[in-house]
Chains A and B, each alone.
Chain A
């Protein structure tokens, strides 16, 4: 499935960049390289990649800025590479628009698995659920379209899959573990902050008042649910 899928790898360390390219190519991806943030943005402008891999610690324009710039132009899946899992870098990167993260050093096979999960299409739940409605919110999974009050809202692929997952059982509470597994392909040990930050991002787009969400609701200690 991955043949022809282009990954833009942004990394300033040449040896790492080369080794990662070799390993990813072995996995069947085609890899485009960039060693600075500027070059990454130029490359993306010339020909948008299908997935972007960004090292947060870049000289010049840093990884967060690259992430934000690409996110403004595209809903392409972005995986960021951070030094540590327990720093604020993770949350900052996710808020800048990244879909997932890995910590250095990672195994390229793990990266491939992450990319495959992000490239999955939103599941059309069943035949009757092709058109879902929650108050002024309207979701059409097969077309990848979300409207609020008739006006189309732009979601990233991951935000969209999260919304469709919640919409598959309206009113049901999804734990963070379940969402991590269904949306990101993680098991129990995924990072719950992925869910929290994506829910936050989703609210800013689908809620009239993101601070007092009506549709994407937190159920304390249990998880999240979608309601009309």
Chain B
């Protein structure tokens, strides 16, 4: 079955199996019923017709033995039910009561058999109807007596029984399919819960578990699912803790380095040019090192699921202006929808500033500087967009650019750039935590640069 129906689900297969089973059973029952009914009805009818024919033949013989002058009169005097047609053969001449059924109507085999002195009966088709012919030889008067009985009424009775049985079979099949569907649904219902739990796990809710089942067949499944989820959670948290611990441990030496380098910087004027060059390298890299540790710590908090937002009412337009004014692109035009000038959202101010700063930083490093920062309304959401003048982001990189340590295929060639590749990943995490989304698209004015868009619900969580 699997080979022929490879794409059907378990539920469809069970439903079909039930339907086919019901169809088979009802077909067998219907066939047997029709066969038995038919045989019973025919037997009855045939023995009745045979008995009647024998009785009439006796009657005809008695009359003809005393007087042979009026054979047709004898035939017409017989009492026969509707649908029964007597035919008399006397001295080679046929005397039918009904002109429609004469000696020619009879099957020749039957006719010959009876004329040779053998009583017989036979079913045959005549004028598109099923007939039964019964013949009795009348040897004492050199003749034979036949009756042709219509079985058509019987056929139509059988036909209506067949139609009823067919309808019953159809209903049984449908009922079977419905039962199968219901049973499959019932059997699969616990799996729906597990599917939902798996989905929930996949979206990052690591504490998701399925309800323990009292059903002996299902309990092991639920238990092993929960064991797996617990192991997964433990593993992910261990990794997150590790990253967090490492970053934490790095803070102490960084603290010493930051303070010491400042002491050295205070002596910069007394240094040789070579020492100054070395000092500048150290200053720049300690700064980069600090940024990396900060970013790693922040991101490990997301992974450990312990990140929480300090929500407050934030004046969005002001926040954007402030974020831009302290960035390296302080003179970039900020374009704010007139009706959003006073918009207030619930947000973590420090993180939202960080998000915008990271986007501006990204534009400065990889996009030849920001060209425009926009605040727009879009239905119930607000859009913050940062456009740049760079080469744009190819379609295949537009999702992966938000992955950790991924600077896109283009950025890899820019060796002078000193980013660590966590900026956009942090943007994505922060925005997600705020109930929003972030993406990159082509610049709105059709220019060659890229446009990073943050969508935030105007009523943030």
Contacts and interface: CB of A to CB of B under 8 A. Distances in A.
A192 B312 contact: yes
Interface string B312-326: 110000110010001
B254 A105 contact: yes
B251 interface: yes
B257 interface: yes
17 contacts: A16-B259, A19-B257, A19-B258, A20-B259, A22-B260, A22-B263, A23-B263, A26-B266, A85-B350, A86-B310, A104-B251, A106-B258, A108-B259, A109-B262, A187-B322, A189-B326, A192-B312
Contacts of A15: 252-253, 256
Given A23-B263, A26-B263, A83-B248, A105 B310 contact: no
B297 A84 contact: yes
Contacts of B297: 84
Interface in B341-370: 344, 349-350, 353
B252 A16 contact: yes
Contacts of B349: 192
Contacts of B308: 86
B290 interface: yes
Contact of B252 (A104, A106, A108): A104
Q: Could you say which of A16, A20, A26, A109 has the most chain B C-beta atoms within 10 Å of its C-beta?
A: A16
B255 interface: yes
A15 B259 CA distance: 10
A188 B318 CA distance: 9
Nearest to A189: B353
Contacts of B251: 83, 104-105
A26 B262 contact: yes
B255 A221 contact: no
A16 B248 contact: no
Interface of B: 248, 251-260, 262-263, 266, 290, 297, 301, 307-308, 310, 312-313, 318-319, 322, 326, 344, 349-350, 353
B266 A188 contact: no
A13 B256 CA distance: 9
A145 B364 CA distance: 51
A108 B256 CA distance: 10
A105 B258 contact: yes
- How many chain A residues sit at the interface, stated as a range, is 20 to 34
Interface string A71-114: 00000000000011110000000000000000011111100000
B258 A107 contact: yes
B290 A105 contact: yes
Closest 10 CB pairs of A and B: A19-B259, A105-B255, A105-B254, A188-B322, A23-B259, A105-B258, A19-B260, A15-B256, A23-B262, A19-B256
Contacts of B260: 19, 22-23
Interface of A: 13, 15-16, 19-20, 22-23, 26, 83-86, 104-109, 187-189, 191-193, 221
Contacts of A221: 313, 344
Given A16-B252, A16-B255, A19-B255, A107 B350 contact: no
A20 B350 CA distance: 27
A13 B255 CA distance: 10
Contacts of B353: 189
Given A19-B257, A19-B260, A192-B312, 15 more contacts: A13-B252, A13-B255, A13-B256, A15-B256, A19-B255, A19-B259, A20-B259, A23-B259, A26-B262, A26-B266, A86-B350, A104-B254, A107-B262, A189-B326, A189-B353
A108 B266 CA distance: 12
A16 B263 contact: no
Contacts of B259: 16, 19-20, 22-23, 108
A19 B260 CA distance: 5
A19 B257 CA distance: 8
Nearest to A81: B255
Nearest to B253: A15
B310 A193 contact: yes
B247 to A, nearest CB: 10
A83 B247 CA distance: 11
Contacts of B313: 221
B360 to A, nearest CB: 14
Contact of B350 (A13, A26, A189): A189
Contact of B257 (A26, A83, A105, A189): A105
Contact of A16 (B256, B318, B350): B256
A190 B132 CA distance: 111
